[in-house]
Structure 1
């Protein structure tokens, strides 16, 4: 199996945060060659983002030469804890956990620790965990910075003088990605007195998001919708239309995530902007596992880069950022 050595662009606060951003990977020949079984406890297979992540993990496991066992918790935390116990019973050498809930997942991490199996925390940050004790590294996008980027876009687009009302439609707030996207946005716009935020849960569901838009539109006026995830965008657009509002004309629409349906919506003029959050973390994951196996010291966090997509650059980044 070829060794993939991470080439990292260290972000400014690395000495205090212990995080880094993956740039690319190069090959060498010194990784162990014995079979190594990786368990991957996915929180759900539902949605374009997760489907792309699952496909990428499966593809990269083969490319790097790892045996892979994947489980699907279907967003059920008790099932996910059971999934991890099953992976332990299958003698996995390392387990990757994408937590359904950032706090309730604790028994799964504890079970791995008791079994002496190293864990990589992925996507949703395990809030109670201790680096070096409960997990060997975390691989995730910086959801807090994504929220800040969305807040900056709102302020840059709508200014600081006229009043602006934002309808924020969140993911599932028990998950760290939704909480961080909320906190980053809230912290950024808190400095601007002209920005008011109405926050409602969409639970990552297009149907739920559609209902939220319709219900809020009956009682309140808003200038922009901020969505935590691209899978909710079809429902948001439909909800706006059913409320008699033209997306991007009457109400701006910004989302985190860039599935092709969102990029197509930007091209069609019905979504205004998207903050990218790539599901393609397989190279980062298996490069980290390679490094761990050869005794290299891992950073506490590896961050996936992000970008802001609008009608100005959507054609340029369509293939590289879409999924």
Structure 2
């Protein structure tokens, strides 16, 4: 059955070069399709990425592209531009082309049952990357590969407890929230608040969404600084928003990292540089280089092997108290 579907997929691919494949560039597709006709074992993956909103996201995409290419796999890639509807359309196109597996980094956690059921009926396995989904149907996807967002939030909270150990005064915290409904934002917020609730003097006075974007982080931080005069801590769900917030602070004469303590998540090179400059106090790493792990799991899955339901990558914590000269270049 899969062999018949594979030949159907080749026909779809040949006919569809003017459609979906244009999203990732059709130059050179003819030669690759010619090779696929000669070799039925070529694996085709469909990858529905959230977007290209940050250096982290670009590095994440590049990692998956490079890993697939190194294994001789063909990758059909779509940048969803932060829109769930675009990802759903892409998944349906992947199903029509009979890809071997679908990689999905979901914009938000909910609303995937219908389209993932369609993938299940087509016997196409789904691997979630970077972001998770909420569903009462566990068989809609085979594996999640990414960071433990709840743990990241807890690590941020633990830094804050250590930073203000012994303080009795009220500590006012601003939270720059990621995309509402996304698993990173939900997990990072929940884990952080679970830890800081142990300290009654820690108080989140404002929590607003910046969609993980630099421009929105700056815009929202400007509004917050106008509204609140006594801010002790900024807890930001990603570096892009943090960098925007730092710009907003500096424009009004606030010293980031000194006048306002800053905790951020991702670990981009620009934020590590800011940590070394004293503008950031704590960086929680979120490793974007998931490609090798995802491709290896996909290979095992397509061979019929059992794979883990969840694979968490290891994340590190960098603080103002560390020997920052030991931090290796991030590459993103």
Which TM bucket (shorter chain)? 0.7 to 0.9
Among 252, 261, 264, the alignment partner of 1:255 is: 264
**1:136 aligned to which of 123, 139, 142:** 142
Does residue 1:50 correspond to 2:60, yes or no? no
> Which of 122, 127, 130 is the equivalent residue of 2:129?
122
Query: What are the residue-to-residue correspondences of 1:147-296 with 2, within 5 Å?
Result: 147-162=153-168, 163-197=170-204, 198-220=206-228, 221-296=230-305
Matches of 1:238 and 1:289, distance apart in 2 = 41
CA-to-aligned-CA distance 1:182-215 (integer Å, 9 cap, x gap): 1111111111101001212111122222232222
In the alignment, the residues of structure 2 paired with residue 322 and residue 56 of structure 1 have an alpha-carbon distance, to the nearest angstrom, of 11
Q: Mean Cα displacement is larger for which, 67-76 or 98-107? A: 98-107
Question: Could you tell which deviates more after superposition, 272-281 or 64-73?
Answer: 64-73
For structure 2, which runs of at least 5 residues remain unmatched after alignment?
Answer: 1-39
Q: Which runs of 4+ in 1 moved over 4 A?
A: none
Q: What is the total number of aligned residue pairs between the two structures?
A: 290
Tell which deviates more after alignment, 266-275 or 102-111. Answer: 102-111
Task: Please say if residues 77 and 105 of structure 1, whose CA atoms lie closer than 8 Å, have aligned partners that are also in contact.
Answer: no
Q: Distance in 2 between matches of 1:34 and 1:160?
A: 63
TM-score by length of 1: 0.85
Give the aligned CA root-mean-square deviation in angstroms: 1.7
Distance 2:253 2:223 in 1: 13
Deviation at 1:293, TM superposition (A): 2.4
Question: Which one scores higher on RCO, CA 8 angstroms, separation ≥ 6?
Answer: 1
Instruction: Establish whether residue 100 from structure 1 lines up as the match of residue 107 from structure 2.
Output: yes
Native 8 Å contact 1:95 1:120 kept in 2: yes
Q: Matched residues in 2 for 1:250 and 1:94: separation? A: 49
TM-score (norm 2): 0.83
Higher radius of gyration, 1 or 2:
2
How far did 1:139 drift? 0.7
Deviation at 1:174, TM superposition (A): 1.4
Higher relative helix content: 2
